[in-house]
């Protein structure tokens, strides 16, 4: 699930459910999740600490602790982070969990084991996230900056959008959706796009992410009760062969960087 909007929803939910809770005990089922740190190291760093806050950087969730350490979770492709009433009821795909002193537990559920969980002091944290590019929902994300970043790139625009070192948080779905909204073909070279079109793309990104966050909240805040119509309404993603909602042409699927890209051959050019 997790691109920026899903990470945001996970983070907000954690703020509600986890702040003030004290970690009594940490368990890691898969060492790979915490590598290159060790299970012992991670456990020792969170033991006895209270959760003081949560924030997000790109697709990553950062959990602040009372002892100065920060838990950094990258949700990977299938990760989810949530609080359960009792760790013994956890799903079999839970790869790590922190039992709270009140009996509840924060679990890192990641079926595909492509996510990561690390615990850092301030210096390490800074190092771990310094490579990330601009937050697309921040004031720094101006048309001028997008223009600068794109001008320096020879990549296809879709891959450019997914490059976390330039803009942090877009993945396969929302990159494709943003390009549809801006009516830009995913294979266009970023550095060749005109200022006007990049400005349109910037606006599309902000709009798509904002909408997706709303949908993600609806889906994540109410565990178990998912209502039809609350899911993000994709215009192109996964709609191969279906009609474009703008021009009616059939949405097509192509491959870029080994991933599926969906676009409308009629109005994205």
Of 88, 92, 139, 227, the one binding DNA (CB under 7 A) is 92
Catalytic status, residue 259: yes
Q: For residue 118, what is the enclosing H or E element?
A: strand 116-120
Catalytic status, residue 59: yes
Q: Is 260 in the site for DNA (CB under 7 A)?
A: yes
Joined together, the tokens standing for residue 102 give 């009140």
Q: Do β-strands 259-263 and 116-120 pair in parallel, antiparallel, or remain unpaired? A: unpaired
Catalytic status, residue 2: yes
Of 19, 24, 137, 159, the one binding DNA (CB under 7 A) is 159
- In sequence order, the 6+-apart residues with CB closer than 8 A to the CB of 214 are none
* Per-residue contact string for residues 164-183; x = within reach of DNA by CB under 7 A: x------xxx----------
Of 10, 94, 125, 162, the one binding DNA (CB under 7 A) is 162
- Give CA–CA dist 175/205, Å, rounded: 8
**Could you say which residues in the range 52-91 bind DNA, by CB under 7 A?**
58-59, 74, 76-77
Joined together, the tokens standing for residue 211 give 């909408």
- Give CA–CA dist 170/158, Å, rounded: 10
Strand ranges (E), 68-115: 70-74, 80-84, 94-100, 105-109
Q: Is 32 in the site for DNA (CB under 7 A)?
A: yes
Catalytic residue (choose from 2, 5, 136, 186): 2
Of 24, 39, 114, 218, the one binding DNA (CB under 7 A) is 114
Catalytic status, residue 72: no
Among 233, 234, 251, smallest CA distance to 242 is for 251
- Give CA–CA dist 242/250, Å, rounded: 5
What residues line the site for DNA (CB under 7 A)? 1-3, 5-6, 32, 58-59, 74, 76-77, 92-93, 111-114, 116, 153-156, 159, 162, 164, 171-173, 216, 232, 257-260
Active-site residues, by number, are: 2-3, 59, 259
């Amino acid at each position: 699930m997790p691109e920026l909007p899903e990470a945001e929803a996970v983070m907000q939910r954690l703020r509600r459910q986890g702040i003030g809770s004290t970690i009594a005990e940490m368990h890691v089922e898969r060492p790979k999740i915490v590598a290159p740190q060790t299970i012992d190291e991670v456990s020792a760093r969170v033991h006895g600490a209270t959760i003081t806050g949560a924030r997000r950087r790109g697709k990553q969730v950062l959990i602040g602790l009372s002892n100065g350490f920060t838990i950094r979770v990258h949700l990977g492709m299938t990760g989810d982070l949530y609080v359960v009433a009792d760790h013994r009821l956890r799903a079999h795909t839970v790869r790590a969990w922190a039992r709270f002193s009140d009996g509840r537990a924060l679990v890192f559920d990641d079926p595909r084991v492509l996510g990561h969980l690390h615990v850092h002091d301030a210096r390490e944290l800074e190092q771990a996230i310094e490579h990330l590019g601009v937050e697309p929902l921040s004031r720094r994300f101006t048309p001028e900056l997008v223009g600068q970043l794109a001008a320096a790139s020879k990549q296809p625009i879709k891959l450019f959008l997914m490059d976390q070192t330039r803009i942090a948080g877009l993945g396969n779905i929302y990159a494709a959706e943003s390009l549809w909204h801006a009516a830009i073909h995913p294979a266009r070279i970023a550095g060749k796009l005109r200022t006007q079109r990049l400005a349109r793309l910037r606006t599309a990104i902000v709009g798509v992410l904002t909408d997706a966050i709303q949908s993600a909240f609806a889906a994540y805040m109410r565990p178990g009760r998912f209502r039809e119509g609350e899911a993000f309404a994709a215009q192109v993603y996964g709609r191969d062969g279906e009609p474009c909602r703008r021009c009616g042409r059939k949405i097509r699927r192509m491959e870029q960087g080994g991933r599926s890209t969906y676009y409308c051959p009629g109005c994205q050019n």
